[in-house]
Structures are given as C-alpha cells and as structure tokens.
Structure 1
Amino acid sequence: MALVELRGVSKSFRKGDETITPLDNIDLVIEAGEFVSLMGPSGTGKSTLLNLVSGIDQPDSGTISVAGTVVTGLSRSKLADWRAANLGYIFQTHNLIPVLTAYENVELPTLLLKLTSSQRRQRVELALEAVGLNDRADHYPRQLSGGQEQRVGIARAIVAHPKVVVADEPTGSLDTETSEQVQDLLQRLNRELDITMLMVTHDSDAACIASRQLILDRGKFLEKGVGGAGMVVDSVGDKR
C-alpha cells in the first residue's frame, strides 16, 4: 500500500536572476513499511523534498499524498494537526530544548494529541525504551553525549506513533562509531515497529541500511541497485 505518493511535483526557487529547479516533475511512491534513503549532490533538493513531504513547504505544481491525506493546499492549522498525528521528524543537529529533560523533550509532540497524562507517560516511556534511554529520562541535553541526544531526537520522532518518519542527515554530526549505532537503531525501528522512513544522507554507508536507495540529481530521481548489482535505474526504469 502506498503511504507516500508524489505525482508531477515541481519546486523552483529564485537565486538572484537565476531560477533553480531542484525538483522537476518528479513522481515517487513509498510503500508502507519501506525504508528509503535519498542521496545526491548538495543543493539538489533533498531537504526540499523532505519539507514537501512533511508539509513544511508546498510544491509549485503536482500533488503530494501522505498517509491517506493530500497535504498540498492544506491550511497551516490543518497541516499542523496532520503532522502531529502522522509524521515524525529527525534532525541532524538534534534540536532538543536545552532547559527540558530527555523525558520532557520526547513528551512535546504528545501535548498536541488528545491523550490523558497516563497515556502520554506510557508513550514517552515506551519511546525512550525503544532507543535504550530509559535510564537517562531525567537528564538534560548538556548531560548527554551526541549519540544520546540523537537517540532522544529519534524517540521524540516516534513517540506519537507516526505513519512516516523523515530524517534529514540523522548521522551527519556524529562520529563513525556513534553513527553506526544510530544506523542500527533506525533499521531496527523500521523493522520491528514497521515505521516507514525517508532518510536524506550524504553517507553511503548510512544509505545502505535502507531497503531502497534513491539518488536525486538535476531535478530527477535515479534509483540505485534495481535490476542487478551495480546497475543504476531511473524512476521510470531506464538503464543508465
């Protein structure tokens, strides 16, 4: 079943006198439970794509459907309600609030949902347990390592039981060992909790943990590893 579906999506920006088109009439379908990684040169629209899927930005043309909702054209208030119930976001720089504990940072998305205090507590505890940080619940970000901070960020992304999680360079600020730990965690959450994931990364090792790898270049998708080892296939199946 298609969980994320982009049809004919284009997005352009003005840069001085020049028009930049990072996404040019693209189609993309992500099935429920898939883990898709997205690579490509800097400035090719990878983060733009995440912002479109999450409703932070709107395309110039085309339609985007996520978890059964057409998010193109929704009002800001409706988008905010939809994101709270359906989407988790993992940032490269963690984006934790320094004056809140790990528990309180993870709890934040649940405050937007109609949950009782006991239901919120249960979700937070389960999310922290899923990332192995129950024993750090009362610690502040300054008391955590970079890897622990990112795991708190991942717990925050999954606490509301989202249909899809988007991750923007989730290992980009981590050392090699910690990066591998976070990669293992993301892969396990995808597999064991059946969380659909779309991850942008510059790290080819991180990209390989995904079940499908895409490359975004000059406004179009190339799909890697389909049809045989080393073969690159674009989004409509033409061999490159």
Structure 2
Amino acid sequence: MALVELHNVSKSFRKGDETITPLDQVTLEIEAGEFLSLMGPSGTGKSTLLNLVSGIDRPDSGKIIVAGTDITQLSRSKLADWRAANLGYIFQTHNLIPVLTAYENVELPTLLLKLSSRERQERVNLALEAVGLSDRANHYPRQLSGGQEQRIGIARAIVAHPKVVVADEPTGSLDVETSEQIQVLLKRLNEELDITLLMVTHDRDVAQIATRQLLLDRGKLVPSGESELENVR
C-alpha cells in the first residue's frame, strides 16, 4: 500500500468572476521512502497540492489518505494533531523564529508530541547532526547564513520523525552554490534516513535530484521525462 494516496482530488478557487481549477480529478500514489518532485510554472497548483497533502487545505472532492488515514475526514483539531505527528514541512523562506536559537527552532515540533525532555533533546540533537549543524545549536537565525537557516528548517521538518516531508521550493531563495548543497542534503536524507519527500519546484535541475518527477499541467499530473522538463521554466 502506498504511503500517500490521492484519489480523484479536485480543488477550485474563485478569482473575480472566474473559476480556476488548479487540480482536476488528480490521482497519485507515493511509496514510502520515495523522493517525488512536482514541476510546473508558477500558479499551476503545485503549492495547492502540497497544502492538500498537508491537511492545510481541503479538496472540493476526492480522498487523500496518508499512512492509512483519510485526512479529508478529520476535524480541524484532529488535523492539527495529525500534522504534528505525521508531517514535516520545509518552507522556501525558512520561517525560523528570530528570537529562538537554532536548537529551540528545531525543538518546536517536538513540543506538540508526548515526549520526555530527554527524548526531545535526543531528537533535536540527531536532527541537527543530520543537517551538519550541531555546532550552531546556540546561534540565532541572524547569526546564520541563508543556507544554514534552510538546514535548520530542514532539521525542524524531520525532528518529529514524520511519515512524509513536503518541501515547497526549498532552494528557491538560495544562490546557486547553496542550492546545490541543499539538494545534496535532501537526497542524502532521503537515501540514508529513508525519508519520504514530496518536493515542489519550478527548477528542472532541482527536480531531477528526485527519484521520480511529475509535471502539473492544466490541472492534471503528467509523468515527466527530461524532454518535457526542458520546456518548464
């Protein structure tokens, strides 16, 4: 059984007098341990799909099942509990809290779980070690480079041992060299820690680090070969 399943999922929005349908009867399966990248130009619904898988938004129709749970049937409060235990989110702009240290930023998701202080400490230290920033634990975001901030954001996404991690343009705000370092890190985390990753990007080169690439085109998911990705910028 797939870890993530979307069955005939549709989502529409009103924009003035126009109805926009970024997702139209989308069906998708993601296996445990898979690294899937989702390509497409801006405004094609990539982030909408991430928000649906994350339970941040609800589909107009269809089912979304993650780790055996139909999240479309959960109440808002149960969705919050489900996200805390099952989902990690990597943002484009890091979204670190400036008054907290790197350690405290990474620790935040564990505060929502029923863990002892020792268990929280072990998880935070392991997450910081996984992204290579154990020596920056007591630094504040202002004392970190952009790449280090993103690494802390990644550590925060994996610290609760989520079933799936979603990444929304995780290299979009970084320079080329730092972007390449984050790509290597994401690939390593997927391969060595068996983390299931769903990544949205508009960058063809970034998309190709994943084990599978899909293109979102006019509300539908299309398997993407290299020749198709060449045309997406």
TM-score by length of 1: 0.94
Instruction: Go from structure 1 to structure 2 and tell me whether the alpha carbon gap of 1:151 and 1:202 turns closer, same or farther (over 3 Å shift).
Output: same
State the shift of 1:231 in Å: 7.2
Which one has the bigger helix percentage? 2
Higher relative contact order (CA 8 A, sep 6+): 2
Assess if the C-alpha contact under 8 Å between 1:59 and 1:72 holds in 2: yes
Q: Which consecutive aligned stretches of 4+ in structure 1 deviate over 2 angstroms post-superposition?
A: 229-232
Please name the residue that 1:99 is paired with: 99
Please name the residue that 1:172 is paired with: 172
Assess if the C-alpha contact under 8 Å between 1:58 and 1:73 holds in 2: no
Q: Which amino acid aligns with 2:149?
A: E
Sequence identity, in percent? 82
Please name the residue that 2:115 is paired with: 115
Assess if the C-alpha contact under 8 Å between 1:90 and 1:167 holds in 2: yes
- Is 1:198 aligned with 2:195? no
Alignment of structure 1 residues 151-230 onto 2, 5 Å = 151-225=151-225, 230=227
SS in structure 2 opposite 1:2? coil
Q: String of CA shifts for 1:130-180, please: whole Å, max 9, x gaps.
A: 000000000000000000000000000000000100000000000000000
State the shift of 1:230 in Å: 4.1
TM-score by length of 2: 0.97
Alignment of structure 1 residues 1-240 onto 2, 5 Å = 1-225=1-225, 230=227
Q: Which amino acid aligns with 2:157?
A: A
Assess if the C-alpha contact under 8 Å between 1:215 and 1:222 holds in 2: yes
Q: Which amino acid aligns with 1:192?
A: E
Give the length in aligned residue pairs: 229
SS in structure 2 opposite 1:11? strand
State the shift of 1:224 in Å: 1.3
For the residues of structure 2 that align with 1:27 and 1:7, how far apart are their CA atoms? Answer: 5
Q: Report the aligned-residue RMSD.
A: 1.0
Q: String of CA shifts for 1:171-209, please: whole Å, max 9, x gaps.
A: 000000000000000000000010100000011111000
SS in structure 2 opposite 1:138? coil
Q: Which amino acid aligns with 1:106?
A: V
